[in-house]
A and B are shown apart, each in its own frame.
Chain A
Amino acid sequence: NAGVTQTPKFRILKIGQSMTLQCAQDMNHNYMYWYRQDPGMGLKLIYYSVGAGITDKGEVPNGYNVSRSTTEDFPLRLELAAPSQTSVYFCASSTGTALNSPLHFGNGTRLTVT
């Protein structure tokens, strides 16, 4: 079972470049999330989606954009990369609708902006 798949695993960007972090899940989950984790810190929510065509901001949305055109995919876009965006990015999904459904996480994308 694939679960939540994130690509790429690693990426180095120069300041001002843009990129898209890909996230796909094969569990038919309605809810999907993007988190970032800075070294030695807990996870912070960037954006989330409760279903195709619906997205909303989390705690730290500045500098990022998302879209949700299908149930399976939830890409995260960085338009003008900055050193402050150096982090590990985790995508997650859940069945949603109720509070009683665990999140399933991918293995992360490690991004360095120099």
Chain B
Amino acid sequence: DAKTTQPPSMDCAEGRAANLPCNHSTISGNEYVYWYRQIHSQGPQYIIHGLKNNETNEMASLIITEDRKSSTLILPHATLRDTAVYYCIVRVFEGNKLVFGAGTILRVKS
């Protein structure tokens, strides 16, 4: 079973920051939080991941709370091409598996 909870959908205005929340209250100490997105049923695209500290790369920022029970993915300047399903995933230690939940449908609107 997925160890994460996400809202089913969100809207964001083009050019504004998109903040996607995720709850993972049962995360273990050595489990990473991963974010992927999927556009038009293509293969999932890796965005970012983190353990304890906040992370930033060219695509997004990941903010993880101090107790690690929740996180937020931030797309700083959303564009129409960012419309996709965003998956927050806790990487399970056994077999290094990713267990996907239902994700959040992000709609970026002009």
Contact = CB atoms under 8 A, between A and B. Distances in A.
B42 A108 contact: yes
B101 A100 contact: no
A12 interface: no
Contacts of B87: 42-43
A88 B41 CA distance: 8
Contact of A106 (B34, B43, B102): B43
Interface in B27-54: 30-32, 34, 36, 41-46, 49, 51
Contacts of A98: 96
Given A42-B102, A100-B51, A31 B96 contact: yes
A94 interface: yes
Question: Which range contains the number of B residues in contact with the other chain?
Answer: 20 to 34
A109 B38 CA distance: 15
A94 B92 CA distance: 14
B48 to A, nearest CB: 9
Q: Secondary structure at chain B's binding surface: helix, strand, loop or mixed?
A: loop
Contacts of A105: 43-45
Contact of B49 (A45, A92, A96, A102): A102
Nearest to A100: B32
Question: Which range contains the number of A residues in contact with the other chain?
Answer: 20 to 34
A56 interface: yes
Contacts of A44: 100
B44 A90 contact: yes
B41 A108 contact: yes
B100 A107 contact: no
Contacts of B44: 43, 90, 92, 103, 105
Contacts of B34: 102
Interface of B: 2, 30-32, 34, 36, 41-46, 49, 51, 87, 91, 93, 95-103
Ranked 9 nearest A-B pairs via Cβ = A105-B43, A42-B100, A43-B100, A102-B46, A107-B43, A99-B91, A105-B44, A99-B32, A42-B102
